[in-house]
Amino acid sequence: MKRKTEFGIGLWGLWLGLAVAVFVLSIYPLLWLARGSFKTAAGYGFGRYVELFDRFSFADVLVNSWVYALGTTAMSMVLGVGLAVLVARTDIPGKGAIRLATVLAFVSPPWLTAMAYVFLASPNAGIVNVLMNGWFGVKPFDVHSMAGMIVVSALFLYAFVFLTVESALTAIDGSYEEAARIAGAGRWAVLFRVTLPLVTPALVAAAVFSLIIAWGLFATPAILGLPARVYVFSTQLYLFLNAFPPRLELAAAMGMIFCLSAAVLGAVLYLLRRPGAAGRYAVIVGKGRRPALLPLGHAKWGALVFAWATSTLSVLLPYVVIGFMSINTSWYGELSLANVSLSNFVYVLTEYPNTLRVIGNSLQIAGIETLIVLAVGLGVAYLSARTSMPGREALKGFATYTVLVPSVAFVAGVLWAWIQPPLALYGTIAVIVLAQAARSLPIAVRNIADGFRQLDPALEEAARITGAGRFRVFVRVTLPLLRFVALSTGTIVFLSGLRDLNTPLFLGSGSTDTLTLAVLIFQFWGEGRAGESAAFSILLLVLTLVIFLPLYRREPSLR
Amino acid sequence: MSGVVVEKLSKVFGTVRAVDDVSFGVAEGSILSLLGPSGCGKTTILRSIAGLEAPDSGRIRLGDRPVFDAAEGGVLVPAEERNLGMVFQAYAIWPHMTVFENVAFGLKVRGTARAATEAAVAAALRLVRLDGYGARYPSELSGGQQQRVVLARCLAYKPTLLLLDEPLANLDARLRDEMRVELRRIQRETGTTMIAVTHDQAEALALSDRILVMDKGRIVQDGTPEEIWRRPAAPFVADFLGTVNRFAARTLDPTTLVAENGARVALAHGLSGAAEICLRPTGAVLEAPGVAGPNRWPGVVAASLFVGEYREVKVRCGTLELDLRISAGPDYPPGAPVTVVIDPERLILFRGEA
């Protein structure tokens, strides 16, 4: 009797297709990055690494990068964890508004905050400095500094920390804290000995990913640091790529150094999450769970000031400033309404010749990226959650490991991978799409895998027992049940694709063929045309909110 | 001096009076149980004593120290300053700390010196028979051991009062029996005053010196386990203490009742007026059909289920159906005629509405 194989030809075909896709998206570029970093004039070796330190004072860049990333992470943790504790574990009023502000800070582009703070706090013409000068005769703030870079980056990154930690905090059973209070522990002892230690894995994850994200942030160090000659990893990489001739080998060597640093951090994270340690943190939420919100009492006012100051500085103020800049024809130094006009918008919408083309490019890149990411993400998550095929976990690992690669390092790898014949895609929209898709794949795989986990396999098994094949079950049962996870994941991927600056800036050809809104805004800014830049930012913001707000209203987990 | 005094305590959630003007005291060194169905207010009372819930009105005193007073210029001592211990239903053992660290926590936040802490932790672990487990993490312990860690954690700093919220609900039947005995032993050895909340009548009966039966935010009966078992103050209490057969009756003469099915009941003690009769499942035996009369009711077996130590037999007597537990005599199959012999000493009588 002929025994049917466990996995049909269709499943193997899917497996193969996904393996190819994951290889092309996530592995191939980093292989090239490694190879490029060892390429020297005489063959292969560590020559480029030596050259980095000898001729480009790379030690300074290394120190700056660590100071910048650590500072940003530390401040993001203080703000993000503080807010998360307030929202998840206390009776602070106005939680919905605090959470909305934080989510908005998370989806708004980081360069927007940087631009707004240049307007507010650049050393000579920043509006706050001008006002302070008028009142007290001092100009206290200088946003073009390491401190400025750290503060402004943290005002964006704290939202990531908040979202990571808050969900973990919400899942804690209230009786852990109640038991500590009854044992005699005051507010702070409960917080630092019970509440926060219980979510150690989430805290470490937030810190590790904040560091890696900070290494990959380009816009903020570029807008704030370059004028003051404060170079970090990402801006130094940009300079290497824009040198003439481009110093691709040096860029690769530098990328490798940061990839390896990130890998070490990733290993720490893995150790914390290994099964043996998990029981020490895993908090089982049993029945009869109470949220047990800690009454703030008189501390309420301090907490409210903290929450609202953070939200104002990170979201409200930048948006207001960018809005003001977009309707103002004169730039620095004055807070008058004398120069208010819509001329920036008139220029952006009617005079600038490529507006539609650029918006089209942006939507096209984000759209194709989203489709690729959803298709690969669904496939990888499906194989991992619903089959016992060999190599399924490796596939998932390779699809998600890129979260540990700082964004600009990965982009440098993509550059290496696609610049040479026969696959010279460099300078096309396709390569931008590939790079952005690889960056978004981890979050998609994770979200969809979570979706599968919440889906009772019996629903699919029931369909198979009635006689439906694997494919039909997937289309008729699994996909409809996962549609909301897919929709929300798609929206998040689309939005991050829309506002991505690093990838199209580093990989674009410089012509309008690959120009996106984010790159255009950055270029206008570089030319000192802040008004036009702000007007385009408002355009992008409107696009973002139109896409995002319907999701926010429907997705309870975001609220 | 009394251990705990609760006076005129009330708490409203929305429109529900969760606790409705409740007063009671607990003698020092005794165990009191609050017994009732879920939603009867017992947990709210416990959490109010703990300081985790702020009542709307009333007073709570621990020893001679007021910890809550709703009166003007009132008192609300926060939970961490009441020097209590509490055993949570889901244990709430901190999973990120070792057993030692869990037990030492209360001493550490009180600033106890290291040597004293170590001695107190060792003593507490010995008390709950977990010596040598200090270095383990809670995830490496069984359910029963976790329960013991919780007790040690509460007792290590010698609280004035130990609160237990459904302490045995998460244990399987065998462990539950064991822990009941252990709890009593620990209470005896330490002399700690305890208040337990439970919905399990067997737990309350076995554990307590005194029981408060609660329903809808009020105390229905306050008494020793024996009083509550033998003389329930209301049909609700009798019901809650075990499935009983309940039926209406009227008096024929002071020692004879006519039940609603027309059968007669001869009483051991006199009664007048209409009545409600409760008959425990073990309050009657079955005999072969014979002469009917007072306390000897003719019936037909409707169902019979063998469950081990006894049979659960449903007998139809006219319009009444009685659920009985029969542990002796022959097995009467369904449909068999029988005589139900009622033991008048074991009837529980309530004066019904006329």
**Pairing mode, if any, of strands B193-198 and B31-35?**
parallel
Please give the pLDDT value at position A288: 43
Instruction: Determine the Cα–Cα distance for residues B315 and B298; give it in Å rounded to an integer.
Output: 9
pLDDT tops 90 at residue A309: yes
Q: How many CB atoms lie within 10 A of CB A443?
A: 17
- Which among B95, B140, B153 has CB closest to A283? B95
Chain B nearest-CA residue for A186 = B80
Instruction: Determine the Cα–Cα distance for residues B49 and B62; give it in Å rounded to an integer.
Output: 9
Taking Cα atoms as reference points, which of A171, A454, A451 lies closest to residue A286? A171
Which amino acid would we find at residue B343? Answer: D
* Residues B257, B267 contacting (CB under 8 angstroms): yes
- Which among B92, B95, B106 has CB closest to A282? B95
A-contacting residues in B 71-100 (Cβ below 8 Å)? 78-86, 88-90, 92, 94-97
A389: Cβ contacts below 8 Å, ≥ 6 apart: A7, A11, A15, A383
- Terminal CA-CA length for chain B: 45
Please give the pLDDT value at position A310: 95
CA atoms within 13 A on the CB side of B132: 1
The dihedrals phi and psi of A400, each to the nearest 5 degrees, come to: -115, -10
Taking Cα atoms as reference points, which of A409, A138, A108 lies closest to residue A253? A409
Tell me what the mean pLDDT of segment A488-501 comes to: 89
Instruction: Determine the Cα–Cα distance for residues A118 and A100; give it in Å rounded to an integer.
Output: 25
Instruction: For B161-174, give the DSSP string.
Output: EEEEESTTTTS-HH
The helix or strand, by DSSP H or E, that contains position B287, with its residue range, turns out to be: strand B284-287
**Percent share of chain A, pLDDT over 90:** 36
How many separate helices (H) and strands (E) can be counted in chain A?
Answer: 29, 2
| CATH class, range B2-240 | alpha beta
B282 dihedral zone (left: phi>0; alpha: psi -120 to 50; beta): alpha
Instruction: Determine the Cα–Cα distance for residues A256 and A62; give it in Å rounded to an integer.
Output: 13
- Tell me the shortest Cα–Cα distance from B109 to chain A, in angstroms: 6
For the segment B23-45, what is each residue's pLDDT rounded down to a tens digit?
999 999 999 999 999 889 999 99
B277: Cβ contacts below 8 Å, ≥ 6 apart: B246, B247, B248, B249, B257, B259, B265, B347, B348, B349, B350
Please give the pLDDT value at position B232: 87
| Contact criterion met (CB < 8 Å) for B82 and A182 | yes
- Tell me the shortest Cα–Cα distance from A273 to chain B, in angstroms: 13
* Residues B319, B328 contacting (CB under 8 angstroms): no
Domain extents for chain B? 2-240, 245-351
Q: How many CB atoms lie within 10 A of CB B116?
A: 10
- Asked whether the CA dihedral A159, A160, A165, A168 is positive or negative, the reply is positive
- Which among B50, B137, B138 has CB closest to A182? B50
**Percent share of chain A, pLDDT over 70:** 93
* Residues B334, B315 contacting (CB under 8 angstroms): no
Please give the pLDDT value at position A5: 56
R_g of chain A, CA atoms, integer Å: 25
Tell me what the mean pLDDT of segment A464-482 comes to: 83
- Which among B84, B95, B105 has CB closest to A281? B95
Domains and CATH numbers, chain A: 61-333 (1.10.3720.10), 345-559 (1.10.3720.10)
Most A-contacting residue of B80, B103, B160 (CB-CB within 10 A), to test interface: B80
Q: How far is CA A553 from CA A109, A159, A419, B281, in A?
A: 21, 19, 43, 57
Chain B nearest-CA residue for A201 = B96
**Pairing mode, if any, of strands B65-69 and B320-326?**
unpaired
For the segment B126-138, what is each residue's pLDDT rounded down to a tens digit?
999 999 999 999 8
For the segment B85-99, what is each residue's pLDDT rounded down to a tens digit?
999 888 888 988 999
* Residues B247, B259 contacting (CB under 8 angstroms): yes
| Contact criterion met (CB < 8 Å) for B83 and A198 | no
* Residues A470, A461 contacting (CB under 8 angstroms): no
pLDDT tops 60 at residue A284: no
Tell me what the mean pLDDT of segment A550-555 comes to: 70
Residues in chain A: 559
Instruction: Determine the Cα–Cα distance for residues A197 and A182; give it in Å rounded to an integer.
Output: 18
Instruction: Determine the Cα–Cα distance for residues A554 and A552; give it in Å rounded to an integer.
Output: 5
For the segment B277-326, what is each residue's pLDDT rounded down to a tens digit?
888 888 888 988 888 888 888 899 999 998 888 899 999 988 888 999 98
pLDDT band at B1 (very low <50, low <70, confident <90, very high): very low
Tell me what the mean pLDDT of segment B211-217 comes to: 94
Burial class (CB in 10 A: 0-12, 13-18, 19+), B269: exposed
pLDDT band at A332 (very low <50, low <70, confident <90, very high): low
Give the ipTM of the model, two decimals please. Answer: 0.81
The helix or strand, by DSSP H or E, that contains position B237, with its residue range, turns out to be: helix B235-240
CATH 3.20.20.60 fits B245-351, yes or no: no
A243: Cβ contacts below 8 Å, ≥ 6 apart: none
pLDDT band at A180 (very low <50, low <70, confident <90, very high): very high
Q: How far is CA B162 from CA A341, B55, B85, in A?
A: 72, 20, 5
